[in-house]
Every structure is written in structure tokens, then in C-alpha cells.
Structure 1
Amino acid sequence: MNSVLILVALAFLAVVCINWTLMSQSTDSVAFCPATGQCNCDGADYMSPNHPWKRDRSLQLKDSPKKLLWFVQISDIHISEYYDENRIRNFESFCAETIPAIKPSVVIASGDLTDAKTKDYIGSRQSLKEWEAYQAAVKDSGVLSHTAWLDLRGNHDNFNVFDVHSPENHYRTHSVQGGTHLRSYKHTVMKDGDNYTFVALDASPSPGMKKPFNFIGMVLEKEWDVARKLEEEARCSSFSVWFAHYPTSSILAPSPGLRWLIRRSLVFLAGHFHTFGGMVPVMHAIHRPHGNLELELGDWKEGRRFRLAAIDNGLLSHATVHFGQWPIVLVTNPKDARYLLPLHEPLDLMRTSTHIRVLVFSLGEVTEVRCRIDGGAWERMSANRNEPNLKWERTVMISS
């Protein structure tokens, strides 16, 4: 048994090394933009003159709730018919109570929706009972009436599945998106004159092997062509957010590689590794030379984690939240300096902003929000829907 595990680990390391080699080869290409009928529509690239903040330098971050969109990611739910009954119960509560309290424009469910393991925990099989539980939790909660639910397959959802048309592919019949999108797809949200495109990348191998042999994602030529088309269409968005089950480090893709393909995106969201048993609780990276962000989310299965993220006038902020944690607070301006993306964000907006901006959510009514800077006095913030604001002297934050 130990020798088998060693061989699997060596194979995984070899695949990752090959993937890094593929991703190191980078070339560019000319793209056709279906929205305008023109070439090189690079709207999602902040360095492009087509970006809204290059067209209008009079924009300023004040107390307006406009040009603000927030969304939620959940990953590695692992609904099981054999283990941890609270897992599905908590997920039902997440759909029925947490999401209505947050009111996100989009919920991303980035794979491993079900566990697909045998009762002895050794083998794997697709369980219709698990898929029915997932479908009921989402649909019966009513969450689909007030948010876009973007789900995607993970490796567990693909165990023992010969192809997407296989009767074992319950994602096709019991997920939200599977009936319309068997693999990769995109979804666009229009708000306040901006369009936000969410691109789902299905890197599930075909055929799907048994546990534990589909740990690595693969984007073969056919799916690569689909992904490139989605990327070209996403260029015409104000912002693009990519998500997959597998992180980029564990996806095989044709040259010049996945990180090259997503170089114009604001962020790439993933799951899959479950924080390596708690040893790596924060798995975040800024990819060079393109300067975009990759965020892997810890699992719902054991950790009951989800992510709240917001794009506030082009500035991306995010926080990992544990289920049952209230209130939920996310500061959107000034954003966390560790995640500044100068090639993709209008960072000058923070320098010229007039207000601290915070998203606050609670199951109960939020009656008051107070803020202080560097141990100073607590000051009351004014409320604007879910976003309290506090007028501030920005030189306090940027003085030497």
C-alpha cells in the first residue's frame, strides 16, 4: 500500500513539473471580440486603453453604492450518504439562511459537490442519493430566485464517469448548470454600466478514473479551444473572474499554458487541496509577469469555509469566512495591501478616495458599525444599504 502511495505522489510531482514547463512558454495572439466585431478588445485588461478607468479619470471613491458587486465561493462540499450528517444540514442552512443574508450577485460552487466514495472509504462510485441531496438543498432553499448559482464538477464528481453523456454523470441532471453547460461556460452580470464575466473552467479528465487516480486536472485540445473562445469573449467585460476546481498548479494544459490564458483576469478561484489537512491554511498567489491573483479556498467538508469577495469600483477584496460566523465584515476601501494588483486594478482610486468602505452582513439587523485606524478613536460609520462608509483623512494612511 505504501509503495502505491509513493508511486502516486511521484506521478503527481512529475505532472506538476511538466505543467510548470508548459506554463513557462508564453506567446500572445490577436482575438476577435464578438461584442464589438473588432480585434483586440482587451476590456478586462487594466493596461488597455479600453478599461473604464482609463476612459474616465474623474471617478472617485466616495459613499456611493454604485459600481460595487460582491459574490460568494464555496468549494469541496463533499455531500456524503455515509459520513457526517451535519455536512449536508449545514449546507442546507448555508443556502437557506447565509446566502439570503449576504445577497451576493453570484455564488460559485467550485467542485467536489458530492463525495462519491464507497462506505468502506476505499473505493469510489457516483451516488445518486448524494446528488439528490445536493439538488434539493439548492433548489428547496429558494436561493436560485435571488442569485446566480454557478456550479462546476470536481474530481470527486467525475469518479468513474466515462464521459459527460454517461448515465453516471449526475452533474448533468442534478446540478444547476449541468443541464445547460456540460463542461466549461461563462456567466455575465451587468451592473451600473459594467459587465462582470465569470468563466468556469472544467478540467475534469475524460474518462474519469477511479479514486485516487484523477487528482490532476487536464484541459485537452478540444476543451482548450473552448476555453480560449471564452477568454476572447471575456475580454470585452469590465472584469473577468475565472474559477475551476483544480488550482493552476495541478492542471495540465497545452502550451502556452493556463496561466497565460487567464492573464487578463482579475482573479482565478479554485479549491481541491483542502488546506492540506490544515498545514497550508492560506493558499494565495500573485502570478508573474501578468500580475493577476489566484486564491484557493479551503474545504466545506471539514472546515465549513466559504469566501466572500467584492469588486468595488475595480478593487478586488476578499475574506475567508467560517460557517456560522456573524457578523461578516469585508473592507473594500482601502483594500488589503498584500493583494494589490497594479496591472489590473485602478489603485489611484484609493489615493484619491474620500471614504472608508465596508461590507457588513448579519442574520439580524445591523444597527451600528464603528471603525478605528491604527488604535485611534472609534468612529461611527454611516450606513448605505449593506455598505457603511466613514469619511476619512487619507493622509493618515499614506503619510511617511
Structure 2
Amino acid sequence: MFSFIFILFLLNIITNYSLISNKKFIISDEYLGNTGKHLFHFVHITDIHISHFGHADRIQQFEQFCNQIIKTLVKPQVTIVTGDLVNSVSSSVDRLFGTEQYEEEWTIYRDVLIRTNVTAYTKWLDIKGNHDAFMDPDPDSSKSFYRIYSHQGHNHSGSYEYTLRTKDDDSYSFVAVDMCPRPGIGRPFNFLGHINKKEMKILKKLYEKTKNSTSTIFFGHYPLSFTYSNGLDQIMKNGIVYLNGHLHSGIKHLYARHSNGLLELELGDWKDKRRFRILTIDSGLLSFEDFRFNQPIYAIISNPKAAKFLTLREPFYRISQSTHIRIVIFSNLSIQNVIISIDEQYIGSAIQSKDNQNLFILPWNTNLYNDENLHKIFVEIKDIENNTVTLQHEFSLSLPTITKWNRSKLILTIHQPTFGFIILISSLCIYIFVLLYYRYQAKQNSCPWYFGYR
């Protein structure tokens, strides 16, 4: 009898251990594991500047982008377009200040969307930029070209939101922030954005509507430092990123992490540089890469995420609990090899995930790197025609690591209207000081003659 009870006891222990082991496996593989679960990607493009004064290649390649990148290769569920859809600039000698709304440019933009039927393949979220509002007396009017010819303008005159729910029970909210001045004015007076009280009330409602989403992405044309408006910190407090354009990447890699944890990522233009961005949200962690059109391979390291973009607004602890390194790859040709090294030591070759053809995975032991130090991951990707792409960045498995920033911090984190005002006042003070100095010098030089005459 005792032996029978003892056997039952052992069976109970073995059963419970098996259940616990399986549960642990499910938990560990739920996020950042060997499947495509909780992996989401989308595309960002900005500053298209469609013009009817030449630049036919710009329009032709934009159409190719819609057909080849959006519809065929990357196939994002969401594509965001952050303004300056059209150019609205005169071709005359007054190009610096000559601005006007040209209906022909708007019809070209609309016709590209119709010909490619791209909006049937992705949720096309466009919003106006300062060029789209040049000399528009009433941008909110149904007669505004943006309202007539853009994709979202039919339903939204300004800010709006779109929420996508996935089969993994994740919800991704995209909030468009319209900062264009009303009424629309010409160059250079709408270079800075502004949100009026009416638009702020709309944004507060959108905040309430999206605050419980898995991830919230804000996007608009103007960088936050180029707006007069207050209150956006509160509106965006649940967002993981704010995406914008406007500056055309005069400074490369114009990215910043604000003191409140919000990432701000400016993107180079389509107009001259033919740039676009692919972003992934992998188990709540946002990663991205900026690309030029017509590259053979587009790839992003989604785990481990780059240390300089880690933020407390994301569940960064999942990196240390992850079971696999994860690389998201889009290529027209079959991938031959994905070689991964960490700290100059070969780790292995990633293989294609069983349920997502764009995801390549490699098991790893996070305990080897969970030491509060920065480590460098290096990935070499090669397709069957030997086209090769390399990716690398520093990562950390502990607290979000503060890393050095370039000039982006000056541009994106300092309030430019205030900075400009300080420069103006400082210049006036220097000018007055110089005038007083030379007046004093002149008076000193004239004094001996003056007293001698007297």
C-alpha cells in the first residue's frame, strides 16, 4: 500500500513538473521567441513634393515605390505619409517666396494612388505638410485641395487616428498630428508649426481613445521643436515614437530621445534622396532602419534592440527574457545566409522562422550579455546573387543605456522658436554694443582736438 502511494506521489511530481516546464516554455517563447507572434511592421515616407514643373522621375519612382515596395515586397498593413505631398512652389525666378496651390500636382498624387491601387493593399495614412497648405485660405474647407485629393482628407481635415488590431490580440494606434497654420500662408512664414485650441481638443479626444492600445505611434510633418504649441507632452505621454519629416535630413540621422522617454525620428525626403523607413514593433519594442529606394535587401534587427533607442515606455525587460535573436528581412531574391556575431565572436547563422518568411531567428543565451555593459551585434546578410547587406548596433540587456548623441539633440530637443528669439535678441545686443563701442572710440579720438580748440 505504501509503495502504491509513493508511486502516485512520484507521478504527481512528474506531471506537475511537466506542466510547469511547458508553461515556462510558452511564456519564454510568447515574446521574442522563434515565431512571428507579436511582430508587426509598417512603412514611413515623407516629403514627396510632387511637382508639375519637371521632375518626372520623382513621380515615376514614387509609383514604382507603391507597386514594388508597398504592394509586392514589404506589404505593410499600414503606410504613413507625413506631409508635403505636393510641392506648391513656383517655377519662376521667385522660387524662394513664390508659392501657390496647383491643382495639377494634387491630381498627379491622386492618380498615382488610383493607378497603383495601393490603398487597397495597405492603410494609407497621409497628412498635410506646410507645402500642402501654402496659400490655402481655409485648409479645413471641403474645397481645399488636400480635402479633395489626398486619401485621408475626404474624412479628416486635420488630426485623426487609426487603430489596427492583429490576430495576436495586439492593438496599434496611429495618431496623425496636424500642425499646419490656419489659414495657410506662404514661404517662409509657415516653416514653424502651430496647433490651435480646436485642434488641441481633437488631439485630447484621440489621446483618450488610444491610451489603452498596445503601442501608440504619433506622426506629423513638423518636428516637435519646430512648433509654438504647448500640451503635446501630455497628449503623447503614452506614445512610443513621434515620426516626422519637414527638414529633409539636412543633418543625417536626425533622431532623438526626449527626457520624457519619447523617441522622435525625422526621415529624409523622397523628393531628392528617395528615402523611406521600415519600422518593426516586436513584442512592444520598436526598431527601424532608413533606406534608399531600389536596394537589393532591406533588413532590421528587431531583437536585440539598439541601446540608444531603448526607452522606459517600452517593455525593454523582454530582451533579457528572449530566446532568439530576430532579424526582419525583405528581399526579392532568396536569402542564402544570415551570419551573426556579437562582440566580434561568431554566434551562428539565423534560419527562417516557420511561420513568417521575413523573420530570421537564432537561439541565444541572454545570460552571457546581461552584465550592464554595451555589446555590439553584427549581422551579414547575403542573397543567392551575392548581394550583401551588413547591420550593426550596440545593445544592452539592462537599464536603457544613455549613449552619446550627435547634432540631432540640438535640432530636435531645443525649442527652435525660443532658440531663434534668443539668437535675435543676442544679435541685437551685440549690434548695439558694437555701435556704442565705436561711438565711444570716436568720441575719445575727438576729445584732444575738442579741448584744444576750446
TM-score (norm 1): 0.81
Distance 1:285 1:202 in 2: 21
Contact 1:248 1:259 in 2 (8 A): no
2:133 matched to 1:158?
Answer: yes
Report the counterpart of residue 36 of structure 1 in structure 2: none
What letter matches 2:308 in structure 1?
R
Report the counterpart of residue 266 of structure 2 in structure 1: 296
Superposed displacement of residue 61, structure 1 = 2.1
Describe the superposition over 1:353-385 as per-residue Cα deviations: whole angstroms up to 9, x where unpaired.
110011100123335433232333373212122
RMSD: 1.8
2:216 matched to 1:240?
Answer: yes
2:76 matched to 1:107?
Answer: no
Report the counterpart of residue 366 of structure 1 in structure 2: 335
Distance 1:58 1:84 in 2: 50
Structure 1 unmatched ranges of 5 or more: 1-55
Distance 1:187 1:60, change over 3 A: closer
Distance 2:55 2:338 in 1: 37
Q: Which has the larger radius of gyration?
A: 2
Alignment of 1:117-266 (within 5 A): 117-120=89-92, 121-122=95-96, 123-166=98-141, 169-191=144-166, 192-254=168-230, 257-266=231-240
Distance 1:223 1:116 in 2: 24
What letter matches 1:104 in structure 2?
P
Describe the superposition over 1:143-172 as per-residue Cα deviations: whole angstroms up to 9, x where unpaired.
212210000000000001011355762111
TM-score (norm 2): 0.71
Report the counterpart of residue 352 of structure 2 in structure 1: 383
Superposed displacement of residue 216, structure 1 = 1.1
Distance 2:193 2:143 in 1: 19
Report the counterpart of residue 271 of structure 1 in structure 2: 245
Contact 1:92 1:137 in 2 (8 A): yes
Match of 2:275 among 269, 294, 305: 305
Distance 1:59 1:365 in 2: 28
Describe the superposition over 1:292-339 as per-residue Cα deviations: whole angstroms up to 9, x where unpaired.
111111111111111111110001101111111220010000011110
Report the counterpart of residue 285 of structure 1 in structure 2: 256
Contact 2:46 2:245 in 1 (8 A): yes
What letter matches 2:115 in structure 1?
D
Distance 1:110 1:201 in 2: 9
Contact 2:84 2:128 in 1 (8 A): yes
Alignment of 1:9-48 (within 5 A): none
Structure 2 unmatched ranges of 5 or more: 1-26, 374-454
2:310 matched to 1:334?
Answer: no
Distance 1:350 1:126, change over 3 A: same
Distance 2:70 2:80 in 1: 12
What letter matches 1:157 in structure 2?
D
* Paired residue secondary structure (2:343): coil
Give me the identity figure in percent: 38
Contact 2:30 2:37 in 1 (8 A): no
Distance 2:245 2:143 in 1: 23
What letter matches 2:316 in structure 1?
L
* Paired residue secondary structure (1:372): strand
Superposed displacement of residue 393, structure 1 = 2.3
Most deviating of 127-136 and 312-321: 127-136
Superposed displacement of residue 57, structure 1 = 9.1
Distance 1:260 1:360, change over 3 A: same
Superposed displacement of residue 63, structure 1 = 0.9
Contact 1:355 1:391 in 2 (8 A): yes
Report the counterpart of residue 66 of structure 2 in structure 1: 95
Distance 2:255 2:232 in 1: 17
Distance 1:57 1:357 in 2: 14
Most deviating of 214-223 and 120-129: 120-129
Report the counterpart of residue 389 of structure 2 in structure 1: none
Match of 1:394 among 361, 366, 386: 366
Superposed displacement of residue 126, structure 1 = 1.0
Contact 1:161 1:168 in 2 (8 A): no
